[in-house]
């Protein structure tokens, strides 16, 4: 029996709740999502060189327009997923085209004098290549002469090798444009917390859930995330200030930097000869995250709103079409200015009202329970929480200003989940008594209370199958009710792991090699330091010198007080050893593609001094398990 067949139906409580959901009434959304349609991908099924599925939009044909929302999906989210299911090549306006629906993000092609300017080449090489081939089949071949990365998230640059090559860029036949600090933020934001963030991303995007009305239906920003490793070509041109202009293959562009908005490094830009404005991922047909549930740096909601307002002031009067890195465009100045206005006001409202109540003394959980999205925002598809969620976003604003701590000393040093769970079970009168109370709450439809009760029981005794089963059933109903695709995915993924266990994931260290190869030496050393087993190196102190021949750089890596530190630009006279190598050799070792010994024996590393000193550091590095438990101890 498949995992899909083992899903439970919606309960009466879920059916009743979903029946009360208000649905956006703007019929124009479906016209916009299909406007300019030229052709679909020939099969809708994209595979890599080995024949492995990268993405298959056919799995989501149950979302066809006209199909009513099933009981197991929030009707508002169902409508949004139907909009995201439109896929193919679309004309935005003359000489501007998008391929949508074969990745979580959009790829945009602008026709220049001699070739294509590509904006945001998707997540993986294969989805970008198939998109380029679709454009070529329908519009004729043109070389890619320029690529723009709107910001520093993987789904906006990871497929660059599907539209150009490093050789083309090195030869100057293709330029790559990005906001300043793009490289630093790209390899920095997800590296230190990479293993934890990658594991949590499975809950956010739900790639292991089966596509079905009882399973995965959408990601909020797009239908689904393609499966495959990202690549990266470093930018050749950095945009350093708002108002900076470039002409690329005859296409005039005016840039607006928006750091600390949706990404740490991001930019919008305007095409004055086309009256077209690209808002990157700063505007979407959904409320966005102020912090994703996978984890990341908290975003600046106030500045985000101000950047949208600045774009309106700079470019709004001249704009006839707005397109973005996700979803579909808006046409006509009145319509698009209304869209931008609502997006601007949404982020400012979340910021201001969260801090208003915080200054009344409410804590994050209380604010999340107090705030209700006003009818002005509920009326629009693009200001509802299909990706972000007001509950989570208000907590993000609180965290940015006041941290995780709510000011109550009782919460300064609480017991961790296992120890707290044991005590709560005892307080409830034992596992059977707690489980009975949870079953009664489930029957009453009080699912939030069920998951709180059972979380204590499961962390006290993960082998309690009755508790696991009921918790899974409860997560499932909460997923069926969620309007946010990411919340739905998290609940359903939690249910799936309680029933079948966490995924046996392997190979996490090497998957991101295409990005990690762009890391600086400093970032590599920072990554190593996070893995040091402090308890194993007490009393040790040493220095290791490094010379990276391809960079002409000298470094010192030191161990002191169970901590690693590094210094650039010199060697330490008392170092135990000096190593000479290329930077990529170190990256390959850190990503477990090879070992120090293999590289020394292969002649790629020269060691002067005591080679065994390396074991003091590299013999005491932790190995992270990407399939660690989340919904159980």
| Predicted pLDDT at 512 | 60
Percent of the chain whose predicted confidence (pLDDT) is above 90: 91
Query: What is the reported pLDDT for 511?
Result: 53
> Interior CA angle at 38 toward 34 and 43, to 5°?
95
User: Closest by alpha carbon to 21, among 67, 71, 60, 82?
Assistant: 71
pLDDT in tens, 33-75: 999 999 999 999 999 999 999 999 999 999 999 999 999 999 9
Q: Which residue has the tokens 């950047």?
A: 307
pLDDT at residue 508 is higher than 60: no
Phi, psi angle pair for 548, to nearest 5°: -105, 105
Going by C-alpha positions, the residue among 367, 279, 269 that lies closest to residue 326 is: 279
- pLDDT number for residue 85: 98
Angle of helix 583-590 relative to helix 521-530, nearest 10 degrees, comes to 20
Residue 466 has pLDDT above 60, yes or no: yes
Is the pLDDT assigned to residue 507 strictly greater than 70? no
Query: What would the pLDDT profile of 235-267 be if each residue is shown by its tens digit?
Result: 999 999 999 999 999 999 999 999 999 999 999
Residue 469: left (phi > 0), alpha (psi -120 to 50), or beta? alpha
Rounded to an integer, the average pLDDT of 435-458 is: 98
**Residue 469, pLDDT above cutoff 90:** yes
User: How does residue 5 score in pLDDT terms, banded at 50, 70 and 90?
Assistant: low
Average pLDDT over residues 17-22: 97
How do residues 198-222 score in pLDDT, each as one tens digit?
A: 999 999 999 999 999 999 999 999 9
pLDDT-derived band of residue 226, with 50, 70 and 90 as boundaries? very high
pLDDT, residue 1, reads 43
Percent of the chain at pLDDT above 70? 98
Strand arrangement, sheet containing 606-609: 563-568, 553-560, 542-548, 577-581, 606-609
Q: Which of 125-139, 497-511, 609-623 has the lowest mean pLDDT?
A: 497-511
Homologous superfamily of domain range 414-481:
Alkyl sulfatase, dimerisation domain (1.25.40.880)
- Tokens linked to 257: 């930097």
Closest CA to 326 of 98, 497, 575, 612: 98
pLDDT at 627: 87
Superfamily (CATH H level) for 12-400: Metallo-beta-lactamase domain (3.60.15.30)
Residue 487 sits at the vertex; the CA angle it makes with 196 and 431, to the nearest 5 degrees, is 80
For residues 293-301, give the mean pLDDT.
95
What average pLDDT is seen over the chain? 95
The CATH number of 519-618, from 3.40.47.10, 2.30.29.30, 3.40.50.920, 3.30.1050.10, is: 3.30.1050.10
Domain boundaries, the chain: 12-400, 414-481, 519-618
């Amino acid at each position: 029996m498949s995992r899909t067949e083992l899903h439970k139906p919606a309960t009466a409580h879920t059916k009743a709740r979903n029946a009360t959901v208000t649905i956006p009434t703007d019929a124009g959304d479906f016209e916009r999502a299909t406007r300019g349609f030229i052709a679909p991908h020939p099969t809708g099924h994209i595979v890599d060189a080995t024949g492995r599925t990268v993405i298959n939009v056919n799995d989501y044909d149950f979302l066809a327009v006209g199909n009513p929302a099933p009981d197991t999906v929030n009707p508002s989210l169902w409508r949004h997923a139907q909009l995201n299911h439109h896929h193919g090549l679309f004309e935005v306006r003359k000489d501007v085209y998008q391929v949508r629906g074969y990745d979580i993000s959009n790829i945009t092609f602008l026709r220049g004098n001699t070739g294509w300017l590509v904006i945001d080449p998707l997540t993986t090489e294969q989805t970008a290549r198939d998109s380029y081939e679709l454009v070529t089949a329908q519009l004729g071949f043109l070389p890619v002469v320029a690529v723009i990365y709107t910001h520093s998230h993987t789904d906006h640059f990871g497929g660059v090798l599907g539209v150009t090559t490093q050789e083309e860029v090195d030869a100057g036949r293709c330029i790559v444009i990005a906001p300043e600090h793009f490289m630093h933020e790209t390899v920095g934001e997800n590296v230190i917390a990479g293993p934890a963030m990658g594991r949590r991303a499975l809950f956010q995007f739900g790639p292991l859930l089966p596509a079905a009305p009882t399973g995965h239906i959408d990601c909020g920003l797009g239908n689904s995330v393609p499966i495959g490793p990202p690549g990266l070509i470093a930018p050749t041109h950095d945009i350093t200030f708002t108002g900076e202009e470039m002409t690329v293959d005859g296409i005039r562009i005016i840039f607006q930097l928006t750091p600390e908005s949706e990404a740490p490094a991001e930019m919008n830009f305007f095409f004055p000869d086309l009256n077209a404005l690209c808002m990157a991922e700063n505007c979407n047909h959904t409320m966005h995250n102020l912090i994703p549930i996978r984890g990341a740096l908290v975003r600046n909601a106030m500045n985000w709103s101000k950047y949208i307002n600045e774009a309106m002031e700079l470019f709004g009067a001249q704009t006839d079409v707005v397109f973005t890195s996700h979803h579909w465009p808006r046409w006509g100045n009145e319509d698009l200015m209304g869209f931008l206005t609502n997006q601007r006001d949404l982020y400012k409202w979340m910021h201001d009202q969260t801090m208003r109540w915080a200054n009344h003394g409410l804590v994050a959980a209380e604010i999340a329970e107090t705030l209700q999205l006003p009818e002005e925002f509920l009326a629009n598809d693009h200001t509802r929480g299909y990706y972000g969620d007001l509950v989570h976003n208000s907590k993000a604003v609180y965290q940015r200003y006041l941290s995780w701590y709510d000011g109550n000393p009782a919460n300064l040093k609480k017991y961790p989940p296992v120890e707290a769970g044991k005590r709560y079970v005892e307080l409830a009168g034992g596992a059977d008594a707690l489980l009975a109370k949870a079953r009664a709450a489930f029957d009453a439809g009080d699912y939030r209370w069920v998951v709180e009760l059972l979380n204590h029981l499961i962390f006290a005794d993960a082998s309690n199958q009755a508790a696991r089963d009921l918790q899974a059933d409860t997560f499932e109903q909460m997923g069926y009710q969620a309007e946010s695709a990411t919340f739905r995915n998290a609940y359903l993924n939690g249910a799936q792991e309680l029933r079948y266990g966490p995924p046996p994931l392997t190979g996490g260290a090497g998957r991101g090699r295409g990005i990690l190869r762009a890391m600086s030496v400093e970032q590599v050393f920072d990554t190593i330091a996070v893995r040091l087993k402090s308890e194993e190196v007490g009393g040790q102190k040493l220095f290791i010198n490094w010379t990276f021949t391809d960079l002409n750089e000298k470094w010192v890596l030191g161990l002191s007080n169970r901590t690693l530190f590094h210094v650039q630009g010199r060697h330490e006279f008392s170092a135990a050893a000096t190593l000479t190598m290329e930077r990529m050799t170190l990256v390959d070792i850190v990503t477990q593609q090879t070992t120090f010994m293999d590289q020394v024996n292969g002649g790629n590393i020269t060691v002067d001094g005591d080679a065994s000193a390396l074991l003091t550091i590299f013999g005491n590095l932790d190995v992270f398990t990407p399939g660690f438990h989340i919904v159980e101890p």
